[in-house]
Amino acid sequence: MTLQDCNQQNAPRPLVLAVDDVPINLTILAARLEPEGIDVRLAGDGRTALDYAHLEPRPDLILLDVMMPDMDGYAVLEALRRSPETRDIPVIFVTARNQTEDEEKALRAGAVDYITKPINPAILMARVHLQLELKRARELVRGQKNWLEQEVNRRIAENNLLDTRLQVALSLTGFGTWENDRTTGISRWSESLNQILGLTQSPNLLADILERAHPEDCLKVQSSLTGQDASEHDIHIEEFRLRHADGHWVWLEVRSKVTQRDSDGQARITTGTMSDIGKRKSTELAERLASVVFTGINDGICITDQDKNILLVNKAFTKVTAYSPEEIIGQTPEILRSGLHGEAFYQEMQESIQQHDNWQGEITNRRKDGELVTEWLSISAVRDSRGQLTNYVGIFSDLSERKAAAERIQYLSSYDPLTNLPNRNLFGDRLDQALIVARRFERETAVILLDLDRFRTINDTFGPPAGDSVLMEVARRLNLQVRDGDTIGRRSGNEFGFVMANLSHEHDAIALAQRMLDAIAVPFTIGEHALVITASIGISVSMRDGGSAETLLNNADVALLRAKQGGRNTFRFYSPEMNANAARRLGLEAALRDALHNNELTVFYQPQVSLESGNLLGMEALLRWNTPAFGQVSPAEFIPIAEETGMIVPIGDWVLRQACQQTRQWLDLGLASLRVAVNLSTRQFRQRNLIDQVRRALIESGLPPQALELEITESAFIDDVDEAIAQCRALKALGTKLSLDDFGTGYSSLAYISRFPFDKIKIDQGFIRDIIENPANAAIATATIVMARSLNLAVLAEGVETEAQASFLRGRRCDAMQGFLFSRPLPASEFAQLMTANKRLPIADAPRESAQTLLIVDDEPNILASLSRLLRRESFQVLTANSPSEAFEYLAKHPIQVILSDQRMPEMSGTEFFARVKQLHPDTIRIVLTGYTDLESVTGAINRGAIYKFLTKPWDDDQLREQIRDAFRLAKDIRPQHSRNEA
C-alpha cells in the first residue's frame, strides 16, 4: 500500500457522543447532527457517558453538559482523561453557565471548546465540524507517520531477504563462479563452487585445477578457463569432468567470457560460472538406454541391482505407479507395498525367486497418491556368467481397468450413476432389510417419497445438463439430512426415496420431512440465474400403513399424490381414510363430467368496492358446484380436478358466457354500470381459440368489451412469456380489461409485469390476512401498491375482512377491495338485491391529523382504568387496548402519536410489540411502562430505536404526565420533518 492509497481510504461517518440529563436536549442535538452525516450516541448521565465512551467504535467528539446530577461534566472529563482509551477524545462543554470564569475553568480542565445554552445551531455545527476536522487531521498525520516507518522497515527487510535469497539460490541451484588471470596463473573460486567439488579450499593456480580434470577433458578445461578459443563478445560453453574430493567424477557445464584483454588482444582475465550437470548426464544416459531397451513395451518394467535398489523404470511403470524416475530410482520396491499382503506372502515370493529365479502372481500395490492398483507381476533374477546375482527385473500388467469395468457393471446394477445414490433395486432391498429388523425389535419404519415439483420446466428452460446439475445438488443436500443407518435412493427421474429405520415416533418423520423441504427451498444457481424449487413428500409408516415393502411404497405414492394436490411444497402421511378420499376423487371426476349437462354449476358474484368512496365498482364471477351425490363441493377441491382432466376448458367457457349474459341483463335493467371479472385458468389461457371464445361470448351477450375484466394468474405465463404477452395483447385488442390475480404468490420476475398490458393488480389475501400486525406482509402489500401506481395500474386487495384492514389499505392508497367486510359471494338473485338496495361500504370520517391521541396497551384492566383516570383531564385523547392485537386495530384506524405499553403481556412483550410498530408506524413515540426490569431487552430496543423511553411501575403521577407531554412535543417536532423528507 502506498501513502497515497492510505490517504484515499474511505473514512467512516464521524460519531459524536451527546451527554445531557434532559432528554429533549439530546433529541435536539441528534436532530441537528444526524442530517450533517454524523452518527450520534446519546447518554442521559455521566456514568452512562463513560460506558458509552469506551464502546467500539469510540466517539470522535463528546458534547458534554456541565450541570448533571450525581456526576457533573467536570468529573466526567476528569475520568475520560485518566483512561488511556478516552484521553484523546476532544470534549466540548455545552452548558447554560455563561460566565467568563466558567469558560476559563472548562478550558483549563481540558475541554477543547465551550458552548453556552441556548445553542446557536450554526455556531454548534461550525465548532463540531472544526473539532472533527482537527481530530481527522491528527489521525491522518499519525497514520502517515506510521506508514512511513512501516515502509522503511519493509524495504530494509526486502533488501536483506533478497541478499539472503541470492546466496541460497547460488548454493541450491548448483552454480559456482570463478575468475582466472592468465598472466599470473591465479584462479579465484566462489564458495558454492567449492561445495560442488567437495573442496574445503579453493585451488589457487590453473595447474591445480588441471590436476583434477579428467584425462579426456584437460584441453577443454584449459581452453575454457584461459579463454584462448573465446571470441571477443561470445560466451563460450563447454562440458567437462572434474574429480570430486571423494574421488568420483563430476560433470560440469562451464560458461566463460573474456572480460579483459592485453595490448595484443589476447585474453588476460576470464570470468564464468560452473554448474553440476551430473543428474542431467545420468538422465540422458538412462533415457537413451530406456529408449532402446523398452521400445514397444506396454507393461511396466523395473530393474534393480542385487540389493533391490531400483536402477531403471520405463514410462509404463511411471504411468501406473505415478512415481517419476527421479523419485523411484535408488529406492526399493517396498515403497510400493499396499499393506494388504502379510509378511508370509512376501516370504513365499522370495523363496520362489531363490529356488527358481522367478515368481509370478497377482499383487496389489499402492500408487504414490495412495490409490490401490492390482497387477499381474513377474519377477526374474538375472545372473552373470559365473552365476552371481546381478539384477532383478520385474514386469507387470495393470489389472485395475479390467477389475474396474467389472466393479462398474456391479455398481450400476445397484446405484444411480448420476447421483451415486442407491437405485430402485437396491432401495427395495434396503427397505426389505429395514422391515425385517423393525419386526424383530418391534419398531416402526417410515417410507418417504420426495418428488421435485415442476422439474420438467427446468429441463425445458435450461436444458438437461442444468437439470442433471440440480439433481446432483438435491442429492447432496438430502444426504446431509438423513441419519446414519437410514437409506436415501433415487427411484426415478426426479423422485427420491428414504427408508427411515428404527422410527421411534411419527414426529421424527415429520421433522425429517420439514428439514428436506427447507433444504430444497434454498435457491439453486444455474449460470447467472437463482432458481427456487419446491418438493412434495408422501410418507407411509409400518405397520400402521402396511407390513410389506410393496404396500408401503404404494401407500407412500398415494400420500405423495395427496401432497401435490394439496398445493405442493408440503408433505402428507398416508392413512386408511385416504382410500375413501381417492374413491371420492374418482367419483367427483366422474360427476364433474356431467355437471354442465345436469345444470349443477352456478356462478356466484362477489362485490368489488372502492376504498375511497365505498361505492360498488364491479364483481368477480366465482364458480360453485352443488351435486346430488356429494352436496356442495368446495372450488378448492373440484377446480384442481377440472384443471388436471382438461374439463376446466369447457367449464371456463361456460362461466365466461354466463357472466357476460348476466352482466348484460343487469345493465339492461339499469341497476348499475359495473364491470364483471372472470378468472381464466392456466389451461384456458393457453388455448389457441381463447380469443374466439371471448369474442363470441361478448357478441352473444351484447356486453360491451370494457365491461369485461379477465383475471390471469402468474402461473399462466411463466412457461412462455413471449407467447403469453402476445395472447394478452390480443385480448386487449378486443377492448377487455386485464388484471393480474394472486400477485406475489407466483415465480415470475417483476420485470415481466411492465411488459404485459395489465390494467389492475390483485393482492393475494395471504398478504392481507395479518397486514395490520405483520411488518413483512405490510411491506409487501405497500410495495405492490407503490409499484402498481408507478406503472399506472389499479390495485385491488382480496380477502379484506375487518375495518382495520380496510383502513390500513386506504391509508396506503389502495384503490379497491373485495372480501367479507362488505359481502360474501352471492348468487345472481341476491346480488341484484344488493345493487337495488344501493349498499355502500361505510367510510368512517378521517380523524384530524392535528388531534393528539395516546394509546395505552396493557393486559391488566385495572392498570388501564387507573391510567385513563390519571390522564382524563389532559388535552389529548386516550385510547386503551388490552392486547397488542387490539392495539394494531387502533393503529390501523386512527392517527396515534404516542403509545404507552406494558412490557410483559401474554401475546408478546412490549419490546416485541414496539419492534413491529416501528416498522408499521415509524412516526409514533413509543414508551415502555412495566413493573419488571428487563434491562437487556429494553436497552437493545432503545439502541435500535424501537422505544423512546423506559418507565417503571409504580409510577409517579406528575412525572408520568410530564413524560407523555414531552413525547407529544417530540412527536410534533418529528412529524413535520418526516413530512418534508417525504415531500
HSE-CB at 327 with a 13 A cutoff on CA atoms is: 10
**Spatial contact of 537 and 572, defined as CB atoms under 8 Å apart:** yes
Average pLDDT, integer, range 867-891: 87
Q: How far apart are CA 927 and CA 903, in angstroms?
A: 10
Of the listed ranges 5-14, 326-335, 755-764, the least confidently predicted one is 5-14
At residue 579, the pLDDT reads: 46
Q: How confident is the model at residue 3, as a pLDDT?
A: 40
Distance from chain centroid for Cα 844: 46
Question: What separation in angstroms does the CA of 142 have from each of 60, 131, 139, 147, 504?
Answer: 15, 16, 5, 9, 67
Per-residue pLDDT band for 745 (boundaries 50, 70, 90) equals: low
Distance CA 447, CA 500 (A): 6
pLDDT of 697 above 90: yes
pLDDT greater than 80 at residue 674: yes
Q: Prior bond to 775 cis, omega within 30?
A: no
d(CA 542, CA 565): 24
Confidence of residue 6 (pLDDT cuts 50, 70, 90): very low
* Average pLDDT score over residue span 469-481: 91
Residue 935 has pLDDT above 70, yes or no: no
Q: At 941, is the pLDDT very low, low, confident or very high (cuts 50, 70, 90)? A: low
Q: Nearest CA to 706 among 733, 743, 724?
A: 733
Top-confidence residue, 20 or 192? 20
- Of 335-339, 729-733, 764-768, the one with minimum mean pLDDT is 764-768
Q: What is the pLDDT of residue 659?
A: 94
Q: How far apart are the first and last CA of the chain?
A: 45
Q: What is the mean pLDDT of the chain?
A: 85
Compute φ and ψ for 907, nearest 5 degrees: -70, -45
Which comes out higher in pLDDT, residue 402 or 154? Answer: 154
- Separation CA 548–CA 867 (nearest Å): 69
Question: Do residues 268 and 180 make contact, with C-beta atoms less than 8 angstroms apart?
Answer: no
pLDDT, average across residues 424-442: 87
C-alpha cell at 681: 385458468
pLDDT at 15 (0 to 100): 92
538 contacts 568 by C-beta, under 8 angstroms:
no
Q: Is 903 helix (H, G, I), strand (E, B) or coil?
A: coil
pLDDT of residue 823: 92
Quick: pLDDT tens for 833-842: 998 888 888 8
Q: What average pLDDT does range 760-775 have in this prediction? A: 88
Mean pLDDT for 126-139 is 86
* 11-36 average pLDDT score: 88
Report residue 697 CA to chain centroid gap.
Answer: 50
Rounded to whole angstroms, what are the CA distances from 709 to 394, 660, 698?
87, 10, 12
Question: What percent of the chain is predicted at pLDDT more than 90?
Answer: 26
Extract the C-alpha cell encoding 664. Answer: 348484460
Helix (H), strand (E) at residue 474 = helix 464-479
Q: What is the pLDDT of residue 176?
A: 80
Higher local confidence (pLDDT), 456 or 42: 42
What pLDDT is attached to residue 602?
A: 95
In this predicted model, which residue has the larger pLDDT, 672 or 559? 559
Residues paired with residue 374 on neighbouring β-strands, in sequence order: 364
pLDDT at 975 > cutoff 70:
no
| Three-state DSSP class for residue 252 | strand
Residue 910 has pLDDT above 90, yes or no: no
Q: Give the model's pLDDT for residue 749.
A: 53
- Summarize pLDDT for 617-653 with one digit per residue, the tens: 999 999 999 999 899 999 988 988 888 788 999 999 9
Which triple of cell numbers denotes residue 903? Answer: 412490557
Percent of the chain with pLDDT over 70: 90
Q: Please state which of the ranges 119-128, 210-219, 715-724, 858-867 shows the lowest mean pLDDT.
A: 715-724
C-alpha 900: how far from chain center: 39
Average confidence (pLDDT) over 863-876: 85
Distance, in Å, from the CA atom of 479 to the CA atom of 59, rounded to the nearest integer, reads 50
Quick: pLDDT tens for 563-619: 888 778 888 888 765 445 556 777 888 899 999 889 999 999 999 999 988 889 999
Q: What is the mean pLDDT of residues 347-375?
A: 90
Name, of 86-95, 171-180, 277-286, the range with top average pLDDT.
86-95
- Residue 942 CB coordination number (10 Å): 16
User: How is residue 551 written as a grid cell?
Assistant: 404396500
Q: In this model, does residue 933 exceed pLDDT 70?
A: no
Is residue 694 over pLDDT 70? yes
- Residue 323 has a pLDDT of 93
Neighbours of 541 (CB within 10 A): 22
| 3-state DSSP assignment of residue 619 | strand
All three cell numbers of 62:
463528546
Q: Which of 324-333, 342-351, 926-935, 950-959 has the lowest mean pLDDT?
A: 926-935
Query: What is the mean predicted confidence (pLDDT) over 677-703?
Result: 92
| Stretch 97-111: mean pLDDT | 85
